Structure 1
Amino acid sequence: MESIPSPVVAVKINEWYKHIKKFNVKESEKLREEIRKEIDVMEEDEQAVLYFQLMEFRHQLMLDYVQPSGEPLEKSDYLKAVEGQGKKMAGFLEYYFNFF
Structure 2
Amino acid sequence: MSALSRIEKAGFKVFLTGDSLGITPANNLTLPQREFLKTHKAEIITELSTYQKITNWLASIGEEDQTIIDETIDRCKAEPETLSYFLQRADGIAKPH
Q: What TM-score does the superposition give when structure 1 sets the normalisation length?
A: 0.31
Larger Rg: 2
| TM-score normalized with structure 2 length | 0.31
- Return the structure number with greater strand share: 2
Relative contact order, higher structure (CA 8 A, sep 6+): 1
Greater share of helix:
1
